[in-house]
Chain A
Amino acid sequence: MEWEQLDLNPRIIAAVKKANFRSAKEILCVSGPDLQRLTRLSKTDVQRLHCSVAAVVRESKPVTALQLIRGECPVLEAGHRLSCACPVLDGLMRGGLPMLGITELAGESAAGKTQFCLQLCLSVQYPQEHGGLNSGAVYICTEDSFPIKRLRQLITQQPQLRPDLPPALIRSRRFSDNIYIEHAADLEALQACVSQRVPVLLKRGLVRLLVVDSVAALFRSEFQADEAVQRSRHLLAFSNILHRLSHEYGAPVVCVNQVTDVVDGPNPGRCDYGLVGSKVLPALGIAWANQVMVRLMLRRLPGQVQSDSRSSATRKLEVVFAPHLPRASCLCGVWEEGVRGIPDDHSDLQPQGSS
C-alpha cells in the first residue's frame, strides 16, 4: 500500500512505515491502543490514521434507497431480474432471480431441478428487455453428465416456450455456443473450476449466470458424518467464492441442492424453516442455509396437470425464504418446451398432505 497517498502528516506516515505495516488491512485489524504502542503515535494521530486508511478501503459513500430505486447505482441494485422464462413463475418470484446472491433450488430427484436450470441457461441469453442478461451461462455438473440431448430439445422448442418473443430473435441466438459446461468429479476440481476458470469467463463478459448442479453431491460424499466441522469450513469457503463472484460481476448464482429425509418429528436442534409436515428438508444444514439468499423447493405431487391436451406430473415450486418474497408456491409441470407454471388463483392454498 502506498502510504504517501494518505492525506496525513508525514510524521504519521513515517511512523507507520517504521512499524512495518504493509497494507490497509493490517492497520484496520489493529486496535487503537495497540497501534499507539506499535507506532508510538498519540491517540488523535491514530484516530486520524484509522479514518484515512478506512476512507481508502471504502470504495463508495453511502447511497440512499431513493437513488437505488431510481437506478442510479446499478452496481448495488440492478433494477431488473433474470426471468424464469414463464410468466407464472416470474410472478411467483416478483420478476425472476435476483442479480446478486445465491439462489438455491432444492428438491428430490426427478423433481425437475435440472430442467429448471437448463431453462435459465437459455433465458439468460436473451437481451435485457426480454428478461435475459445478453450473455451466456456456466453449468457445473457434479452428479451426472450434462443432459445435452435435453438441451437440444429445449433449444428447438424455444418458440413454444416463449411466444412473447419475436421468432427472429430466437433464431438469431446461438444458444449452445454460449453455455459453458464443466464437470467436477471431486471437491478439488470444483474449487479449481470456481476459483480459476469461472472468473475468466465472467471477466470477459462471456457468461452472466453460474449454475452448480449440484452443491450437495460432492460435499455429502467426501465428508463423513463426524467431519461436520471440516465440511462446514469447506462449504463456507466455497459459498464465499460464489458470493464474491456474484457481487463482483453482477451474475446470479443458482445452486441445486438435494434433500434429506426427516425421520424424527420436530427437533429443536434442527431448523425447519417453517416447513411443517414436510417429509424432506434441504440438505447441508444450517451452515449452507446461512449463505443462501433465496431458497426454493421443487416437489413432485401426485396427479397430473394439463396443457394443450398434453399432461405432465404435477410439481410445486415453493419459495421457502427470500428477502423480498412471501411464502408462496405455484404448481408447474415439465413439458417438451420446459418448465411452465400453471396459472391458478388458489396456487398458494394447497390441500393438506399433498407434500
Chain B
Amino acid sequence: MHRTVPSLPLAPSVKVKLINAGFQVASDLTDMRPLQLCKEAGISQEEAVEVLQMLRDDGQPHQQRAATESLTALDLLHQEQALGSIVTFCSALDNALGGGVPVGKTTEICGAPGVGKTQLCMQLAVDVQIPVCFGGLGGKALYIDTEGSFLVQRVVDMADAAVQHCTLLAEDTEQRQALEELTVEKILSNLFLVRCHDYVELLAEVYLLPDFISEHPEVRLVVIDSIAFPFRHDFEDLSQRTRLLNGLAQQLIQLATQHSLAVVLTNQMTTRVSNGQSKLVPALGESWGHAATQRLILHWEGLRRLASLYKSPSQMEATIQYQITVQGFRDAPEEPRPTSSSSAVSSPSENHSKRPRMEDLS
C-alpha cells in the first residue's frame, strides 16, 4: 500500500501528529500496535485504535475498488438508459426531455406564480408510481414543501386521472394484474410529504435525506417546492446564501447519483433591469444557474402556457406548449393550423426546435 498519510480520511490534527512523528506512507502504520502508535505519535489511545481500524478496512477492498473504478463509456450509457425517466403525461414535454424527467439528475423548474410549477411537481409525484409494465418506474416520491402549496385534494384528482389513464391502456394480463393494485389510496400512500418552514429546516431535511432513502429504497423522486421561497428573505449576507445553496445543490446531485433518483427543484422568477429594459429571470442569482443539471422555464405567452428547456447536457433547447386540466399536467389541445404546401417538414417540428434546419436554406 503506497497511500500517503495526508490522503487518509482522518481528522487533520491526527494527520499532522502522524506526519511529525515520521509516518509518511500508510504501509508505515500497518504493523504498529495501538499503544506503540499512541506513544510514538502522541495521539490518544482512541485515536490510535481508530487509525488502525480505518487502515484495516481500507486495505483489502482498496485494490478491488481500484480495479472496478474505471468504466467504459458504453457501460455508462447502459447504466444511464437503465435508470429511466419519469413521464409528465404531456407527450410534447416528454419528447423534449428525451423521455421524461431523468433519474439520476437534478432538474430545476422555474416559472412565474400560477404558471404550473406545483402542478408539474404533483404530476411527477403521481407519475413516478406508474407500474413498470406500463412504462413507469413503480417508485415512491418524497415531496418537500416549503411554501405550503401542497394541497392533497389536487393530488387526489391527479391520482384518479392517472389510474383511469392506465385502465384505458391495459392490454395484457401483466398490466391488468398491476392495475388491480394501482388504486388512488395506494398512490397516496406512496407519496411522502414534509413541510419546511424556513431554510434551517430545509437544510436539516436534506441532511436527513440519505437516511430516509435508505429506509425507503423504492423512492425514485425527491421534489423540493420551492427551493427559492425560504432563501429569498432573511439573508443580509448574500454570500452566505450562495454558499448554502451551492452546498445544497451538491448534496442533492450526490443523492441523485448515488441512490438513482430524480431530484426536482422549483424556483421563482424575479425581475431584472438591464439597459432600461426589465425582464423576468429565475431567482436566486447567477451562480444558482449552474446548480441543476437541467433547467426548464415555464412561462405565459398570452393565453398559452409554454415550457422551454433552457439548459440540458443531452437534449436540444426546445419550447413546447402544455395545459393544466382537471386531470393534471397535459398536452395542449391541438390547434387547427392552415396546412402550408411550401415546406415538407412543417407542423410538428415548429414547436420543438429553435435550430434552423439546414434543408430549408437550400
- Where the two chains meet, the residues of A that have a C-beta atom closer than 8 Å to any C-beta of B are 11, 24-25, 28-29, 31, 36-37, 40-45, 50-51, 53-55, 57-58, 62-66, 68-69, 76-77, 94, 98, 100-101, 233, 236-237, 240, 243-244, 246-247, 266, 268-274, 276, 285-287, 289-290, 292-293, 295, 320-321, 323-324, 326
Contact = CB atoms under 8 A, between A and B. Distances in A.
Contacts of B229: 290
Contact of A266 (B204, B268, B302, B305): B302
A42 B10 CA distance: 5
Given A40-B11, A323-B118, 6 more contacts: A54-B203, A76-B193, A101-B147, A274-B305, A293-B148, A295-B113
Interface string B270-282: 1100000111100
Interface residues of B, number: 69
A68 B300 contact: no
A229 to B, nearest CB: 10
B46 interface: yes
B142 to A, nearest CB: 6
Interface string B247-287: 10000000000000000000011110000011110000000
Interface in B186-200: 187-195, 197, 200
Contact of B11 (A42, A236, A247, A321): A42
Given A247-B197, A270-B278, A53 B113 contact: no
B12 interface: yes
A272 B150 CA distance: 23
B114 A274 contact: yes
Contact of A324 (B154, B270, B303): B154
Contact of B193 (A50, A64, A236, A276): A64
A326 B214 CA distance: 38
B52 interface: no
Contacts, number: 171
Interface stretch (B73-81, B232-240, B330-338): B232-240
Nearest to A102: B148
B326 interface: yes
B200 A57 contact: yes
A192 to B, nearest CB: 19
Nearest to A62: B192
Given A57-B200, A65-B155, A289 B112 contact: yes
A210 to B, nearest CB: 15
Contacts of B203: 28-29, 54
A41 B12 CA distance: 8
Interface stretch (B26-34, B89-97, B205-213): B205-213
Interface of B: 9-14, 46, 50, 112-115, 118-119, 142, 147-156, 185, 187-195, 197, 200-201, 203-205, 207-208, 211-212, 228-229, 232-234, 240, 243-244, 247, 268-271, 277-280, 300, 302-303, 305, 324-326
Max chain B Cβ within 10 angstroms of own Cβ: one of A233, A243, A244 = A243
Contacts of B194: 58, 62
B208 A55 contact: yes
A244 B9 CA distance: 42
B356 to A, nearest CB: 22
A57 B305 CA distance: 39
A57 B196 CA distance: 10
A64 B190 contact: yes
B152 A276 contact: no
17 contacts: A11-B46, A28-B203, A36-B12, A40-B11, A42-B11, A54-B207, A57-B204, A58-B194, A64-B192, A100-B148, A271-B112, A271-B113, A273-B114, A286-B269, A286-B271, A293-B147, A324-B154
A80 to B, nearest CB: 11
Nearest to B14: A42
Given A24-B200, A64-B191, A293-B148, A31 B243 contact: yes
Nearest to A31: B247
A101 B149 contact: yes
A276 B269 contact: no
A11 B208 CA distance: 22
Contact of B300 (A28, A36, A42, A273): A273
Given A236-B233, A274-B303, A289-B112, A269 B191 contact: no
B197 A244 contact: yes
A286 B11 contact: no
Given A243-B148, A269-B278, A40 B193 contact: no
A131 B280 CA distance: 40
B205 A54 contact: yes
